[in-house]
């Protein structure tokens, strides 16, 4: 671990991010351009996030399956908007087994094409519907400017792909999965998010409607945290997926897709971190409690490690993820800084005097203040303590977002404000794509979301003055 | 579900396999040559296998991480044996983002190259060792002749990659993970396996020693079920990974790697299946208990579904994976056949007369005999019942293997026997690669494994008559 001070968030947020990712050993760049190595501390956050999502997918009736990585180019080309959106980002395999392939293969940038060409075989009758499937997979989207977790050529995600007999059912599914994403973002990652609808220009290529959850990072920039798409019958038509409905008529199936990715590790870093490093929500902290023994002599060390070992076992028995840091090459102060940097929610210090007093010294990563706690109460009280830290982190992030959300009164105030302070800016929009594009050019901000149902703002567009048809949240975004 | 009879195992085992994979909805071919779509029933078996492996990896101190899919070709080329072994199977990306790449990228066929080129940065001192890492990933190896699960261009697996300060420690790790594989193969998948060592000709490209677990399928052919490699310092030398040892000297690190893949879904099918379809070990059965309600009138149906629903809840509360098959478009007989085909260990039939008698009719997938069980005892007794089925399946497979293992007395007897009956044939071997190759040509069999430690057979080579130096298990294999 480097002992130089981290850049502060205030002086250089991007540099702070890069250094935290590196020093907390979350990830690093791989040898191929834009690629990422996710290190154990980063991957463990992802595993815990996966489990939280997967449990909820199954509880809402979904099953996992797995489609191939490689997709014949001709298959990708069938949905016009979809191919237009993704073709520029595709990595292409031209050789295999030492020979040039007859047809080049795309590495999946997303799997609608291969999945809907397969659903054609799986769907014949309304009795085959709905199909409620999800896959955990890697995808590749060629990127020129990469940033670890946030934008990499390859990333890990889940992509749900469902098929339904009616539009209403598909829309309900789309919104149900958006709600699942909200629950995981807020309840597990501790990131308050808005649920909303993208403007037409920001829709997923091939979607009729794209819904999203959108969070605010501690540099007052927005992050899209997950998307859920109502695809209408676009893919069913492109891949000729019809079914016999209950009235005996052939109909195209209705589709949804929804994805949540390793990008959210970046979101978790940026939504909670401070100038000392990561602050991890206990629900996804690979280590929830670090025990640092303090001893000067070998005798003291033996004694302290014995008590610490028992404490570790007691905590583990409560289902707490605990690490006893018994490394002898580092001093306690070094260890404190390391666990702080790595975002461990609770640190326990244990020395001979503590043992004599039947206590430990406990420090929360949030406040940092130290507190003496009776040895006998440590394990039994830890669940509540972690739950309270989880709530506090969320409350902190929510307060930050509220403090950085502004009503737009005039366009000029918005343009100046977003340059100076970032944040969400909320105002009436005319619904015109040209107006949206003009605002984006002037402010480097984009519409992060509109309300799920269009809402009459009761006032004219804050930019062009035409009648307002919707209320937009604007922000600069990752 | 097709209602035609399956081909029997005796008349055409390969056709039986293909039909079971298809009709039990485990997998199907994808659009790109050699690719596979793993359907929910197949993927759920994999998820349960993953969980069993991953728990044991973590219990033995390993952490998960993730390395990139795409590897610069120049990186792959550094370990001579390794590249020679894998180059012919590599899929190559030449274009990305609409442009030709400066350097082509290989899709990983395995990750030693990218991982050891990274370990160079992670390993400086003996204090950095051991590195005990694993990743869950997809890999691509170009295959001309594919068979679902057993041999596909892309497959899913885990690959462990560890680095150690001493050869002894690395060898101990190699054997520890082989033992973990044995536990999962036998205890979870119910497949009895031999632990052994490959002959030099069958080693992993770049390994000093390859260990394996090897099982016997119900067509008397062997299946390699997992491998664990002691890589010596080969990769450390190829990628220049040195560390300062405790004596202050620079040394190359010692390596292991070990893998277990979706191929084992194929192994589970072939080790246990019978002429009615799959027989799944309860530990990896996505559905452990299927409840089939029986009713003729709407009144009966309502009554039966109420009791069945309560039974389902009681079983689920015991942690049993249970499915209540309340589809109204199929008759009970159709459902019985479907759950049999899909390998569900226990079927429960429940009709109005059963309810009146306070019982259910229960059938095990193993024997098929029906048995009346008191309604109140069903849930509480199910754990034991499933554990007993798990043991029986293992015992069955073990008895089959023992009955199909033969001591070689003369080469001719072996050559005739393996042609007629398959199975394992055990005999003295001289250790000469040319002799091994000659036997392979004559018999289409290969040495599946040697004992972990070379064992003096006390007799001359069964083929060439030269002094025996080891005891080989021969078989025809997948």
pLDDT for res B84? 87
Query: Span B423-435, mean pLDDT?
Result: 98
Domains and CATH numbers, chain B: 13-272 (3.30.930.10), 287-388 (3.40.50.800), 405-475 (3.30.110.30)
Residues B419-428: pLDDT tens digits? 999 999 999 9
From CA B114, how far away is CA B97, in angstroms rounded?
Answer: 23
* Torsion, Cα of A468, A469, A473, A477 (10° steps): -100
Contacts of A301 (CB under 8 A, 6+ apart): A293, A295, A328
Interface contact B52, partner A, CB < 8 A: no
pLDDT for res B4? 79
Identify the bridge partners of residue B224 per DSSP, sorted by sequence position.
B214
Q: Of A455, A389, A108, A11, which is closest to residue B93 (Cα–Cα)? A: A108
Mean pLDDT taken over chain B: 96
Contacts of A127 (CB under 8 A, 6+ apart): B329
| Token duo for residue A312 | 């570790």
Contact B137, B159 (CB under 8 A): yes
Q: Which long-range contacts (CB under 8 A, 24 or more apart) does B17-24 make?
A: B17/B147, B17/B266, B17/B269, B17/B270, B17/B273, B18/B148, B20/B269, B20/B273, B20/B277, B20/B278, B20/B341, B21/B148, B21/B149, B21/B269, B23/B277, B23/B341, B24/B277, B24/B278, B24/B341, B24/B342, B24/B343
pLDDT for res A143? 86
From CA B50, how far away is CA B302, in angstroms rounded?
Answer: 39
Identify the band that residue B80 occupies on the pLDDT scale cut at 50, 70 and 90.
Answer: confident
From CA B305, how far away is CA B9, in angstroms rounded?
Answer: 37
CB-based contact B70 A35, cutoff 8 Å: yes
Residues B86-131: pLDDT tens digits? 888 999 999 999 999 999 999 999 999 999 999 999 999 999 999 9
pLDDT for res B367? 82
Residue of chain B whose Cα is closest to the Cα of A73: B32
Burial of A237: CB neighbours in 10 Å, binned 0-12, 13-18, 19+ = middle
What is the rounded radius of gyration, in angstroms, for the C-alpha atoms of chain B? 25
CB-based contact A95 B97, cutoff 8 Å: no
Task: Match 């570790």 to its residue by tokens.
Answer: A312
| H/E run at residue B23 | helix B13-23
Residue B3 pLDDT > 80? no
Nearest residue, CB atoms, A71 vs list B32, B94, B127: B32
DSSP string, A316-361: HHTT--EEE---SSS-HHHHHHHHHHTT-SEEEEE-HHHHHTTEEE
Contact A56, A184 (CB under 8 A): yes
| Token duo for residue A25 | 């050993």
What is the value of ipTM here, to two decimals?
0.96
From CA A314, how far away is CA B170, in angstroms rounded?
Answer: 32
Tell me how many residue pairs between chain A and chain B have CB atoms under 8 A apart. 160
Query: Which of A 230-249 lie inside 8 A of B, CB atoms?
Result: none
Q: Output b/e per residue, B92-129; b: 16+ Cβ within 10 A.
A: bbbbbbeeebeebbbbbbbbbbbbbbbbeebbeebeeb
| Token duo for residue A444 | 């480097």
Residues B170-226: pLDDT tens digits? 999 999 999 999 999 999 999 999 999 999 999 999 999 999 999 999 999 999 999
Compute φ and ψ for A220, nearest 5 degrees: 65, 20
Q: Of B325, B255, B266, which is closest to residue B294 (Cα–Cα)? A: B325
Query: Which residues in chain A touch residue B63, judged by CB atoms under 8 angstroms apart?
Result: 40, 43-44
pLDDT for res A3? 62
CB-based contact A72 B144, cutoff 8 Å: no
pLDDT for res A82? 84
Omega of the bond leading into B130 within 30 degrees of 0 (cis)? yes
C-alpha distances (whole Å) from B72 to each of A17, A270, B113, B140, B154 are 27, 31, 10, 15, 19
Residues B269-328: pLDDT tens digits? 999 999 999 999 999 999 999 999 999 999 999 999 999 999 999 999 999 999 999 999
Segments of chain A scoring below 70 in pLDDT = 1-3
Q: Of B226, B136, B133, which is closest to residue B181 (Cα–Cα)? A: B226
Contact A322, A287 (CB under 8 A): yes
Identify the band that residue B242 occupies on the pLDDT scale cut at 50, 70 and 90.
Answer: very high
Looking at CA atoms only, how far is residue B147 from chain A in angstroms?
15
Interface contact A154, partner B, CB < 8 A: yes
Query: Which residues in chain B touch residue A37, judged by CB atoms under 8 angstroms apart?
Result: 65-68, 118
Task: Match 């462990």 to its residue by tokens.
Answer: B160
Omega of the bond leading into B357 within 30 degrees of 0 (cis)? no
Contacts of A121 (CB under 8 A, 6+ apart): none
Residue B464 pLDDT > 70? yes
């Amino acid at each position: 671990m480097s002992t130089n001070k981290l850049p502060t968030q205030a002086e250089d947020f991007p540099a702070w991010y890069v250094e935290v990712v590196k020093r907390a050993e979350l990830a690093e760049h791989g040898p191929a351009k834009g690629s990422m190595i996710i290190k154990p501390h980063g991957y463990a956050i992802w595993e815990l996030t996966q489990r939280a999502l997967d449990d909820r997918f199954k509880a809402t009736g979904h099953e996992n399956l797995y489609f191939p990585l490689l997709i014949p180019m001709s298959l990708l080309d069938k949905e016009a908007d979809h191919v237009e959106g993704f073709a520029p980002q595709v990595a292409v395999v031209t050789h295999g087994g030492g020979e040039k392939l007859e047809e080049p293969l795309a590495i999946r940038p997303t799997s609608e094409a291969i999945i809907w060409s397969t659903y054609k075989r799986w769907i014949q009758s309304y009795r085959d519907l709905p199909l409620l499937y999800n896959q955990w997979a890697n995808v590749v989207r060629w990127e020129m400017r990469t940033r670890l977790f946030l934008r990499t050529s390859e990333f890990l995600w889940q992509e749900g792909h469902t098929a339904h007999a009616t539009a209403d059912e598909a829309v309900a599914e789309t919104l149900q999965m958006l709600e699942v994403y909200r629950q995981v973002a807020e309840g597990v990652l501790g990131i308050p998010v808005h649920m909303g609808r993208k403007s037409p220009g920001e829709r997923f290529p091939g979607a009729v409607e794209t819904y999203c959850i959108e969070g605010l990072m501690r540099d007052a920039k927005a992050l899209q945290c997950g998307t859920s798409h109502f695809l209408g019958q676009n893919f069913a038509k492109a891949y000729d997926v019809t079914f016999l409905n209950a009235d005996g008529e052939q109909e195209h199936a209705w589709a949804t897709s929804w994805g949540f990715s390793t990008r959210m590790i970046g979101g978790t870093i940026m939504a909670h971190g401070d100038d000392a490093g990561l602050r991890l929500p206990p629900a996804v902290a690979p280590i929830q409690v670090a025990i640092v023994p303090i001893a000067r002599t070998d005798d003291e060390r033996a004694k302290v490690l014995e008590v610490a070992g028992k404490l570790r076992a007691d905590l583990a028995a409560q289902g707490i993820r605990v690490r006893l840091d018994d490394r002898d090459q580092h001093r306690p102060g070094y260890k404190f800084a390391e666990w702080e940097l790595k975002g461990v929610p609770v640190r326990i210090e244990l020395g001979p005097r503590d043992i004599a007093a039947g206590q430990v010294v406990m420090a929360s990563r949030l406040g940092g203040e130290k507190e003496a706690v009776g040895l006998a109460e440590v394990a039994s009280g830890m669940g509540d303590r972690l739950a309270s830290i989880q709530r506090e982190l969320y409350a902190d992030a929510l307060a930050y977002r509220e403090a950085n959300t502004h009503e737009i009164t005039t366009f000029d105030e918005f343009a100046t404000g977003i340059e100076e302070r970032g944040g969400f800016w909320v105002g009436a929009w005319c619904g015109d794509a040209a107006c949206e594009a003009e605002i984006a050019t002037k402010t480097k901000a984009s519409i992060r979301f509109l309300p799920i149902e269009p809402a009459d703002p009761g006032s004219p567009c804050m930019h062009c003055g035409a009648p307002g048809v919707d209320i937009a949240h604007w922000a600069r975004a990752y």
